[in-house]
Amino acid sequence: MKNSNIEDLAYFMKRAMRNKSQQPIFFLGAGASKTGGIPLANEIIKDILKDFSDNPKIKKAKDEDKENYYKPMEYLHPDDRNKLLNVQFHHVMVA
């Protein structure tokens, strides 16, 4: 496994763009997004269950479905999902 710092990654990306070669693929660990200020899935689920507790699909959902990130997201109307994610990620995009 190779470890790279941000300067290495930027170099590989710029080089690929300049040479019009294949774009590099970077594999990041699960903590990379949290370190970057992006909430973890369980934090987003917690907000969904709290902020949309009146949603009939969430009210009827089994407990095990409420623990799966995809189910609570699926229960939201697309507009609600977009608003939720915009709020969650706004501070990351602004920085």
The domain spans of the chain are: 1-36, 37-95
- pLDDT at position 93: 53
What is this structure's pTM?
0.63
Please tell me the predicted confidence (pLDDT) of residue 8: 83
* pLDDT tens for each residue of the chain, 95 residues long: 467 777 888 888 899 889 888 877 767 766 677 777 778 888 999 999 999 999 999 999 999 999 988 999 999 999 999 988 888 776 555 55
pLDDT on residue 94: 52
How wide is the angle at C-alpha 88 spanned by C-alphas 47 and 75, nearest 5°?
50
Instruction: Output the pLDDT for position 1.
Output: 45
